């Protein structure tokens, strides 16, 4: 028997996809999980157990869609009891709560998971995948890999093997008493580790070739979060610790400690020998492709950290091999939120729709509307003021209004690149015009210091300056016969309510009217 879908990994993405398949009665699938329960990654990581995904049960609204904007941990479900916000009120929850939540989600949804099943080989012959786990084997027409980034990333540094990895280092501060510690890395794992050790170490240096980038400035939640940045105070206030900008040339043993040769990027490439008692590696993770044989091994990208993917999250070189969850961030790396639960839960829903189109000839869900300005304006305004998907996956997912004659169809949560490359045409609806609706920051938003009051910014609700807005706001792009013709920005608003009649509604209605009348472009 050949399964329709075989999902590898029972983390948040694997469970989300399985639940969506179950909800549509697509029971011909199976999830394979190497651990004895779901969410095994969170049983170990983050090492210091505090998640940086926010959890806010008290939002001032009972609208479940709006609440997901401030709930970064829940999977998509119609069951209010299966929201992560029911499990804790902590703004930054303990990782153990996530493990418990995922176990409950798996049990209560009844998704089909085979635990204690470690996949050892994936191959492909004649358009059919064979997946093996020891002496057990399955066949499937499509394989979806949702294993996350499970292997530590090792940069090409001579002597790097001497460093203690994030996955194995001690998290007991007194194990570092009176020691000089070098931490390789400048991301959240490096800073959370430094924060944990500040009270017991003699000094801590964080080192790496890249600049520290603050999430509050870039709007990318994987950059350094404020909850982990106390170490910056100790550096800037000359309290023994430091951040080193440059390249580690080598790591060598030096008696009971280590000699690190370091080339400083800010000091005319000055090279120094630095001495430490411990060297810790917090250099992130990468995708583990060891289970794939040559017939199904996906091409890698971004320093071989992720599988290279098409606009449909399909391997660029192995048709029928798809990716979900953290590894799907190759499509929007360090731009949007596909590397995190609050982003990829929507990406998985979009992937589910893509799979349904590909293998079951199912149209992308849509609502029919009259192709006239008032109706289209009302639909867009209602959505941008409620949607959590476009809010979380800014600039990456879009709502798409397609127009054929006097009929329009409203499609929700379509990957922008997928729409551009593949489209949403059907035999019944062969449209020639489309409006692509996203929420986006301004193009130079990460160049603006939001706390510098001397920097001028566009006043909110100013229609004529909406295109210069740096803050998140709706953008509507008009496509005609596959070509981008015109773009309309809705004025930014502090309360994220884009519904003022003269500021948001009327300008949008007039823009849509001009486009429908053929007066744009």
Nearest to 219 by CA among 385, 444, 12, 50: 444
| The predicted structure's pLDDT at residue 200 | 96
Cβ atoms within 10 Å of 266's Cβ, excluding its own: 9
What is the C-alpha separation between 211 and 376, in angstroms, rounded? Answer: 44
Over residues 478-482, the mean pLDDT reads 93
What is the C-alpha separation between 339 and 329, in angstroms, rounded? Answer: 5
Q: For 221, which DSSP code?
A: T
| The predicted structure's pLDDT at residue 37 | 96
Over residues 185-199, the mean pLDDT reads 93
What is the C-alpha separation between 485 and 508, in angstroms, rounded? Answer: 16
What totals of helices (H) and strands (E) does the chain contain, helices first? 11, 24
Instruction: Give the β-pairing of 29-32 and 121-125.
Output: unpaired
Over residues 302-327, the mean pLDDT reads 96
| pTM, full prediction | 0.92
Q: pLDDT of 242-276, one tens digit each? A: 999 999 999 999 999 999 999 998 766 689 999 99
| The predicted structure's pLDDT at residue 214 | 84
Strand extents, DSSP E, 128-277: 128-133, 136-145, 151-152, 164-165, 180-184, 203-208, 242-254, 257-264, 271-276
pLDDT band at 210 (very low <50, low <70, confident <90, very high): confident
Over residues 154-161, the mean pLDDT reads 94
Question: 165 - beta bridge partners?
Answer: 281
| The predicted structure's pLDDT at residue 228 | 85
Least confident of 251-260, 302-311, 467-476: 467-476
What is the C-alpha separation between 90 and 63, in angstroms, rounded? Answer: 21
Backbone angles phi, psi at 190, to 5 degrees: -65, -45
Query: In the predicted model, is pLDDT for residue 65 greater than 80?
Result: yes
| The predicted structure's pLDDT at residue 321 | 98
Query: In the predicted model, is pLDDT for residue 192 greater than 90?
Result: yes
CB 277, CB 180: distance < 8 Å: yes
Question: 5 - beta bridge partners?
Answer: 29, 142
Residues contacting 324, CB < 8 A, separation 6+: 7, 13, 14, 16, 17, 144, 145, 146, 313, 344, 347, 348, 351
Cα–Cα distances (Å) from 99 to 10, 87, 93, 226, 442, in that order, read 11, 11, 11, 24, 37
Query: In the predicted model, is pLDDT for residue 465 greater than 90?
Result: no
What percent of the chain lies above the pLDDT cut of 90?
Answer: 79
CB 486, CB 478: distance < 8 Å: yes
Question: 409 - beta bridge partners?
Answer: 368, 402
Q: pLDDT of 359-399, one tens digit each? A: 998 999 999 999 999 999 999 999 999 999 999 999 999 99
For helices 506-516 and 373-384, give the axis angle rounded to 10 degrees: 130
Query: Helix, strand or coil for residue 366?
Result: strand
Least confident of 41-45, 109-113, 420-424, 446-450: 446-450
What is the C-alpha separation between 221 and 199, in angstroms, rounded? Answer: 27
| The predicted structure's pLDDT at residue 515 | 95
Nearest to 424 by CA among 405, 441, 408: 408
Question: 235 - beta bridge partners?
Answer: none
Residues contacting 46, CB < 8 A, separation 6+: 52, 95, 188, 189, 192
| The predicted structure's pLDDT at residue 413 | 98
| The predicted structure's pLDDT at residue 460 | 63
Residue with tokens 């193009």: 443
pLDDT band at 151 (very low <50, low <70, confident <90, very high): confident
Over residues 42-57, the mean pLDDT reads 92
Q: pLDDT of 7-33, one tens digit each? A: 999 999 999 999 999 998 877 999 999
| The predicted structure's pLDDT at residue 61 | 94
What is the C-alpha separation between 72 and 364, in angstroms, rounded? Answer: 26
Residues contacting 235, CB < 8 A, separation 6+: 241, 242, 243
Q: For 97, which DSSP code?
A: H
Over residues 194-214, the mean pLDDT reads 92
Q: Which helix (H) or strand (E) holds 356?
A: helix 341-360
Rounded to 5°, the CA angle 58-60-65 comes to: 90
Cα–Cα distances (Å) from 327 to 13, 25, 146, 273, 411, in that order, read 10, 27, 7, 37, 25
Query: In the predicted model, is pLDDT for residue 211 greater than 70?
Result: yes
pLDDT band at 457 (very low <50, low <70, confident <90, very high): low
CB 233, CB 191: distance < 8 Å: no
What percent of the chain lies above the pLDDT cut of 70?
Answer: 95
Cβ atoms within 10 Å of 148's Cβ, excluding its own: 22
Cα–Cα distances (Å) from 296 to 123, 279, 403, in that order, read 5, 37, 40
| The predicted structure's pLDDT at residue 170 | 95
| The predicted structure's pLDDT at residue 265 | 85
pLDDT band at 471 (very low <50, low <70, confident <90, very high): confident
Query: In the predicted model, is pLDDT for residue 452 greater than 70?
Result: no
| The predicted structure's pLDDT at residue 454 | 52
pLDDT band at 235 (very low <50, low <70, confident <90, very high): confident
Query: In the predicted model, is pLDDT for residue 83 greater than 80?
Result: yes
Backbone angles phi, psi at 133, to 5 degrees: -135, 95
Query: In the predicted model, is pLDDT for residue 344 greater than 70?
Result: yes
| The predicted structure's pLDDT at residue 167 | 92
pLDDT band at 165 (very low <50, low <70, confident <90, very high): very high
Query: In the predicted model, is pLDDT for residue 281 greater than 60?
Result: yes
CB 403, CB 430: distance < 8 Å: no
Least confident of 30-44, 48-62, 159-173, 215-229: 215-229
Query: In the predicted model, is pLDDT for residue 222 greater than 80?
Result: yes
């Amino acid at each position: 028997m050949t399964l329709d879908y075989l999902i590898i990994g029972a983390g948040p993405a694997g469970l989300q996809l399985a639940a969506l398949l179950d909800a549509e009665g697509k029971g011909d699938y199976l999830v394979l999980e190497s651990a004895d329960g779901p969410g095994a990654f969170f049983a170990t990581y983050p090492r210091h157990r505090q998640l940086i995904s926010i959890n806010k049960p008290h939002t001032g609204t009972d609208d479940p869609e709006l609440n997901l904007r401030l709930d970064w941990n829940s999977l998509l479900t119609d069951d209010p009891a299966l929201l992560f916000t029911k499990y804790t009120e902590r703004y930054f929850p303990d990782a153990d709560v996530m493990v418990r939540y995922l176990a409950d989600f798996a049990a209560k949804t009844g998704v089909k998971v085979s635990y204690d099943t470690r996949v050892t080989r994936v191959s492909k012959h004649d358009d059919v995948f064979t997946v093996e786990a020891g002496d057990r084997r399955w066949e499937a027409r499509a394989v979806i890999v949702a294993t996350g980034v499970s292997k530590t990333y090792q940069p090409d540094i001579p002597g790097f093997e001497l460093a203690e990895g994030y996955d194995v280092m001690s998290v007991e501060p007194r194990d570092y008493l009176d020691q000089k510690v070098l931490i390789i890395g400048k991301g959240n794992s490096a800073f959370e580790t430094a924060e944990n050790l500040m009270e017991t170490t003699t000094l801590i240096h964080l080192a790496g070739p890249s600049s520290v980038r603050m999430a509050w400035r870039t709007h990318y939640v994987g950059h350094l979060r404020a909850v982990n940045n106390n170490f910056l105070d100790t550096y800037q206030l000359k309290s023994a610790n430091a951040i080193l900008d440059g390249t580690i040339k080598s790591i060598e043993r030096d008696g009971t400690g280590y000699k690190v040769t370091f080339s400083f990027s800010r000091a005319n490439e000055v090279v120094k020998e630095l001495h430490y008692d411990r060297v810790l590696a917090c250099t992130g993770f990468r995708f583990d492709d060891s289970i794939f044989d040559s017939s199904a091994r996906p091409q890698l990208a971004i320093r071989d950290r992720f599988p290279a993917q098409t606009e449909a999250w399909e391997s660029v070189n192995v048709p029928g091999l798809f990716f979900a969850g953290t590894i799907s961030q190759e499509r929007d790396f360090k731009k949007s939120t596909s590397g995190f639960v609050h982003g990829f839960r929507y990406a998985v829903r979009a992937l589910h729709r893509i799979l349904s189109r590909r293998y079951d000839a199912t149209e992308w869900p849509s609502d029919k509307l009259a192709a006239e300005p008032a109706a289209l304006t009302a639909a867009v305004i209602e959505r941008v003021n409620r949607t959590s998907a476009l809010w979380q996956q800014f600039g990456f997912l879009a709502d798409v209004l397609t127009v054929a004659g006097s009929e329009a169809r409203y499609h929700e949560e379509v990957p922008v690149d997928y729409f551009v490359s593949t489209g949403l045409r059907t035999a019944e609806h062969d449209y020639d015009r489309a409006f692509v609706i996203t929420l986006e920051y301004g193009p130079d938003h990460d160049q603006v210091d939001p706390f510098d009051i001397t920097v001028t910014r566009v006043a909110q609700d100013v229609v004529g300056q909406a295109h210069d807005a740096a803050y998140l706001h709706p953008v509507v792009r008009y496509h005609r016969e596959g070509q981008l013709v015109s773009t309309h920005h809705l004025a930014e608003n502090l309360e994220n309510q884009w519904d003022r009649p003269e500021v948001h509604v009327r300008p949008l209605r007039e823009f849509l009217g001009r486009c429908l009348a053929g007066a744009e472009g």
